[in-house]
A and B are shown apart, each in its own frame.
Chain A
């Protein structure tokens, strides 16, 4: 056991004790947030408190979050390998996976749609639906299915930015009658939130799929990479 490990162990033990003490001795928050959320629920346009907080009361957080996602995928696009991903050559050669995918894909899409819709009255929403969509994309990629529309750079970028642009656009549009940024009118809040969530789902799904596809599974060995870069005689 090196000195570094011992030091790290002691430090982490200290951190655990300090954190545990902080959890035990935490002060009761003066603001009764659950009550305030419950009071404001009728104006939120949705029936589930978490969705109301995410997309209405604190929609600024969610707006910045989708901006962070876009930023991550833009940086990953800038750092990607020069060679394009070729699913038909690099997918798993597994007939079972392909056959199961034909059955699973419609089911996955239905589940994603249900989660999106369910978000307004029970746990669910854009993030869960987007993650399920992304799972479908990853499975398709693993099965070696070519998806031409995913390789269309313009369409892909439009899809990646769609969520943030719609969110920003709606946030600005509601300012027209003179209310602050992202303050939806109570009578249209439900429809606006659903529209935002729909585009967020698409963008989140595409973001996760792109992040997965930006690292084609070959040439990780630096020596292989150098050999590939030298032109073949």
Chain B
């Protein structure tokens, strides 16, 4: 419990907040672009938690750091893919949201 407010934990706490914020945006918004942004904020929160907790006590743990950089690259690629799919959806239907949401 002693490490609750030490320096590196700022990253983990920020990550927890970002994750919750992103989740709220993901549920509250219907526009697909906003949802994609919210999802990315959730992802950034998860990365921050991993990076923050990896600096606990026994020195920096490189394994979560390597996992986070892998995750960032995959997140960038999936975001770009989602944008391509959204644009096709918009051109096909003229909608910016999914019909199940309304």
Contact = CB atoms under 8 A, between A and B. Distances in A.
A230 to B, nearest CB: 15
Task: Tell me the dominant secondary structure on chain B's binding face.
Answer: helix
B63 to A, nearest CB: 5
Interface in A114-164: 125, 127, 131
Interface in A1-60: 4-5, 7-9, 11-13, 15-16, 19-20, 23-24, 26, 28, 32-35, 37, 49-50, 52-54, 57-58
A23 B24 contact: no
Contact of A61 (B24, B62, B67, B85): B67
What class of interface size applies to chain B in its complex with A? 35 or more
A20 B66 contact: no
Task: Tell me the dominant secondary structure on chain A's binding face.
Answer: helix
Given A37-B62, A54-B66, A79-B85, A225 B91 contact: yes
B23 A12 contact: yes
A8 B12 contact: no
Given A9-B24, A211-B80, A50 B85 contact: no
A79 B58 contact: no
A130 B93 CA distance: 35
Interface residues of A, number: 54
B83 interface: yes
A73 B65 CA distance: 25
Contacts, number: 130
B59 interface: yes
A50 B72 CA distance: 14
Interface string B60-82: 11110111011011101110110
B19 interface: yes
Interface of A: 4-5, 7-9, 11-13, 15-16, 19-20, 23-24, 26, 28, 32-35, 37, 49-50, 52-54, 57-58, 61-62, 65, 68-69, 72-73, 75-76, 79-80, 125, 127, 131, 204, 207-208, 211-212, 214-215, 219-220, 222-223, 225
Interface of B: 1, 4, 9, 12-13, 16-17, 19-21, 23-24, 27-28, 49, 53, 56-63, 65-67, 69-70, 72-74, 76-78, 80-81, 83-85, 87-88, 90-94
> Which 5 pairs, one residue from A and one from B, show the smallest C-beta to C-beta distance?
A16-B20, A211-B80, A49-B62, A8-B27, A53-B66
